[in-house]
Amino acid sequence: MKCPVCASRDAAKGLEEFEEYTLHHCKNCDLMWWEPFKAGTREFYEKLHVLRDVCQFADELQFDHKTFLANPPIKQGDLLDVGCGTGVFLKEARKLGFRVTGIDIDQNAIVTAKTKYQIDDAHAMSLEEFSKRFEGRKFDVITCFQIIEHLDNIRDFFGLVKPMLKPAGFLVIGTPHRERWVRPRPMDLAKTGHVGDYPPMHLTRWNRKSLTYLLESEGFSDVEVVMSPFSLAEARSYITTNIGIIRDAEERFVALFRKSKVLKSAGDGNARVQTMSSVLRLARMLRRLAIFAPSVVVFACGRMLHKEGCILYARGKYVP
């Protein structure tokens, strides 16, 4: 089995099993990847988007976005964001003076980018489609945040990106950090709308060495890779996904209430609906309270021990 980045066959196999997938580790470039190495189908992502209501969760700037905005590789120019989502990052980049363009395969996200953030140069298409339709367009910066881990054609992706960069243009990548303190665990798609850092959603796992190797092997220089610090959000995620009594608290509370005399005495119709609505709000409030204290403790421990967070941010300059 060849590594999808360096093509080496020197790999450790069977590090982890997940459904029909097996995790491999390349001893040459340090990449981890899953076999079979095949991305999720369009049907999988449509189901994922319906379950997660992606546009609802896509309006927050993440560490990789914030890192770019705090220290962009150039002060202004033409910027293409691959997988731009609802355009919240492009909105902020535009404030810095960039002329922004975005692409995403999610039609609903592009509609939001155009209507909510007035990103007029936003297109619902893949990178391959964009490169054909707008052949010859060049950019000073191309960003792809939380994209590369989804790809089953990494080298083909670079083959599309590099011709679209101006001389000495920059590629900026954000991806999950596999050596983060809180390690990934599989999630139930039906319950959470997410499978976590697992296939067929995520096919590769990266660290500083493997990401640096990829960029340098593709001809990028001045490569920089930084890691996010451990965050309160990660601590909260750890508590909710790993401590069962808290993870299931809301469901258990509601299930108990459904059997109680209080709900029966509420009768039928609107009164029953209003009662259940109040119970759900109370259950969520109790769950948040139960999560808060242990999350703060885990967060404080992580920061005190200088543990690394869940996102890698990398950039490199391309001089053909």
Could you list the pLDDT tens digit for every one of the 320 residues in the chain? 899 999 999 999 988 998 899 999 999 999 999 999 998 766 666 565 544 444 444 567 889 999 999 999 999 999 999 999 899 999 999 999 999 999 998 888 899 999 999 999 999 999 999 999 999 999 999 999 999 999 999 999 999 999 999 999 999 999 999 988 777 666 554 444 456 788 988 999 999 999 999 999 999 999 999 998 877 777 777 676 665 544 555 455 555 555 555 555 555 556 655 666 676 677 667 767 777 777 788 778 877 876 777 899 999 999 98
CB 160 within 8 A of CB 131: yes
User: Cα 107–136–102 angle (5° rounding)?
Assistant: 25
Domain boundaries, the chain: 42-230+309-318, 235-304
Considering the entire predicted model, what is its pTM? Answer: 0.79
> Which residues make Cβ contacts (< 8 Å) with residue 45, sequence separation at least 6?
105
- Domain spanning 42-230+309-318 has what CATH number? 3.40.50.150
CB 92 within 8 A of CB 70: no
Please name every residue paired with 273 in a beta bridge, in sequence order, or none if there are none: none
Sign of the torsion angle spanned by Cα atoms 218, 222, 227, 228: negative
